Structure 1
Amino acid sequence: MAFTDASLTALRVFREVAERGTLTAAATALGYTQSAVSRQIASLERAAGTPLLERRHDGVRLTPAGHVVVRRAATVVDQVDAAARELAGLPDERGTVRLGWFASAGGGLVPRALAALRRTHPCITVISREGGTPALVRALRAGTLDLALVASAPPFRPLDIETPSLELRTLTERSLCLAVPAAHPLARGDFVDVADLHGQRWIAGSAGDRVMGVWPGLDERPEIAHTARDWLAKLHLVAAGCGITTVPAALAAAVPTGVRVLPVRGGPSEQRRILLAHLPRPLPEPAARLAAALRSAAIDTDTPL
């Protein structure tokens, strides 16, 4: 079987697997059974004459051939979809940009950038979605996102080990802060000393195997009183006096009433970066306009506490 015999369905399935990272997640997203996804991948690998996926205990990883196929598959699928839209008389999507962003970016940075872009370039349509860094990176590689906002913490490792490397631009770098109830003793000053964090009750969440919301490097087992994935939920728990949590400085303007956001002193600086990532190729004009709006919004929100 020649690769030219590969079906459009198989290319769509493969693209979904590349983005989702597992056969199970791709099957769920597509409404297929896992066995049906496996059959489509097997047919594509037969057509390619080489393995396209490396099966691992934590999901799948693209082989070098898989990277070639997913890059080409993205182009083919997008072109077929564009032709279908044109035949149906639907608007051209060349002015559409697909943006991915990490959770707390939705609290200020993304809405500010989108509002500014609507004022200056109302013909550009932005379709966005929230996701974790691994999922956003896979979506960039699969061609289902044009741009992705990701957060990075020391030691600021590359987002993945694939080649070519993603193009990254640091939009802002700020110290991690602490959100405390306005009536809490820690809220009396203009900063919190790291020594005063001992014995506190924390509101935390998780991102993969990392605990989010507890100050990094504490030399004690933290007391986690509440867990929540959503930033807004954590901040409202802080406002209710249920505990304290870490917070990116960029969210300071979005916290609810009853919460103070303060810097922490007396220990190593806990820097956090916001990165804009995309594939290493020139951005189409709509994506470049959105990137510029995101850079401007990051500067506007990057003001001292």
Structure 2
Amino acid sequence: MQQGITIRQLRGLVTLAQTGGVTAAANKLGLSQSGLSLLLQTLETSVDARLIDRSARPLRLTLAGERFVAIAERILEDVELASSSVRDDGSRGGRIIVAALPTLAAALLPQAMARFRRQHPHVTIQVRDALTEEIVTRVRAGDAHLGLGAFLDVGEGLATQPLLRDRLMLLAGRNFGDGKKTTWRAAAKHPLVMLTRDSNIRQLADRVFVEQRLQVRPAFEVSYISTAVALVQAGFGLTLVPQLEARFFNRSRLRALTLAEPFVDREISLLRRRNMTMTPYLRDFVDIVAQMQVRAK
């Protein structure tokens, strides 16, 4: 790759991809159409690749262009974060992207976001609900500033900040048992709707089943807790859920029982890149999310 790629070139290509045309992109950037076209041509020369399919109407990116734009967006995001970290506290705008497990996106983030907005009304928060593997990938790639989930192993370059412990419970129909607590051995005797093996809940459950030498063959395997809950409501078995999820159940049809012998907790943490620029308003958001653990217990 040749030298000389500039922020203006990256912003020009990203804006073209967002607007879908040279005229709209040029107007948004305050450039002439010829000026933007020249900017994009010099970018293609610098990377020695054709990024734009000019034969298409409207213009569209080539495959190389689509890959390049994804990286360019992250670079521009980091530049904006670096700039905002030294110029203000978010009073003139900013953006925080959080990738979170669906459970936590529903149970913890709304309260934290409402409190943060009162302090920083000009900062936008975007939520990406995703499974654990995708959260780690997004944070590592810079597609999200923070991750919120239960992380067993995140690898190098990432750091976690423990927030709270969320106990696993058994979700069953109203006619299951007569107490508020049951055991893993009792649960294993019934058809189980399990999450897929990339789920931290499934990994914790499998560990208990192996340790207790329990033979478990899931009746169903699904990716999302909402799907598992629907199957339990329809009478297809039992499922494992985190305690934070229990507040959203239809209690007239379902019961959440504490699983004992042993009690199993998953640790909920914030995830970020070790070398990420922490703006003042990003630090404030982290502090607010950390304080949500008091309400979650």
Bin for the TM-score computed over the shorter chain: 0.5 to 0.7
| Post-superposition offset of 1:106 | 2.4
Aligned to 1:74: 74
Q: Partner of 1:204 in structure 2?
A: 194
How many angstroms does 1:207 deviate by? 4.7
Partner of 1:144: 143
Aligned residues: 237
Cross-structure match for 1:261 = 256
Greater shift in the superposed pair: 92-101 or 213-222 = 213-222
What's the counterpart of residue 265 of structure 2?
271
Q: Distance in 1 between matches of 2:199 and 2:286?
A: 30
Deviation of the 1:100 alpha carbon: 0.9
Residue 3 of structure 2 is matched in structure 1 by 3
Unmatched tracts of structure 2, length 5 or more: 15-59, 82-90
What is the Cα deviation at residue 290 of structure 1?
A: 1.9
How large is the Cα RMSD of the aligned pairs? 3.7
Could you say which structure has the larger radius of gyration?
A: 2
Asked if 1:195 corresponds to 2:168, the answer is: no
What TM-score does the superposition give when structure 1 sets the normalisation length? 0.64
CA distance in 2, matches of 1:127, 1:288: 16
Question: How do residues 286-297 of structure 1 correspond to structure 2 at under 5 angstroms?
Answer: 286-297=281-292
Residue 169 of structure 1 deviates from its aligned partner by 0.7
CA 1:2–1:34 in structure 2 vs 1: closer, same or farther (change >3 Å)?
closer
Aligned to 2:239: 245
Alpha-carbon distance change, 206 to 79 in structure 1, aligned in 2, over 3 angstroms? same
Q: Map 1:35-54 to 2 at 5 A.
A: none
Q: Secondary structure at the match of 1:3?
A: coil
Contact 2:92 2:122 in 1 (8 A): no
Q: CA deviation at 1:300?
A: 0.6
Report if aligned partners of 1:147, 1:287 keep a CA contact under 8 Å in 2.
Answer: no
Instruction: Render the CA deviation track for 1:45-77: whole Å, top value 9, x for unaligned.
Output: xxxxxxxxxxxxxxxxxxxxxxxxx7x983446
Q: Say if 2:164 and 2:267, in contact at 8 Å, map to a contact too.
A: yes
TM-superposition CA deviations, 1:188-240 (whole Å, max 9, x none): 11211222123211112315388839943323443433343222232233233
| TM-score where L is the length of structure 2 | 0.65
Q: Deviations over 1:164-204 (max 9, x none)?
A: x323210112332211212212xx11211222123211112
Confirm or deny: 8 A CA contact 1:182 1:239 kept in the other structure. Answer: no
Alignment of 1:149-228 (within 5 A): 149-152=148-151, 156-157=152-153, 159-161=154-156, 165-185=157-177, 188-208=178-198, 212=202, 215-216=205-206, 217-218=208-209, 219-228=213-222
What's the % identity of the aligned pairs? 19
- CA shift for structure 1 position 3: 3.2
Change (3 A) 1:122 1:5: closer
Deviates further, 132-141 or 210-219: 210-219
CA distance in 1, matches of 2:193, 2:204: 7
Is contact 2:96-2:282 (8 Å) kept? yes
**Post-superposition shift, 1:125?**
1.6
CA change 1:128–1:210 in 2 (3 A) is closer
CA distance in 1, matches of 2:292, 2:200: 28
Label 1:211 to 1:170 Cα distance change in 2 as closer, same or farther (>3 A): closer
Instruction: Check the 8 A contact 1:235/1:256 in 2, yes or no.
Output: no
In structure 1, what is the equivalent of residue 296 of structure 2? Answer: 301
The CA distance in 2 between the partners of 1:109 and 1:101, in whole Å, is 10
1:117 is matched by which residue type in structure 2?
F
Give the distance between the partners of 2:65 and 2:124, measured in 1 at CA: 34
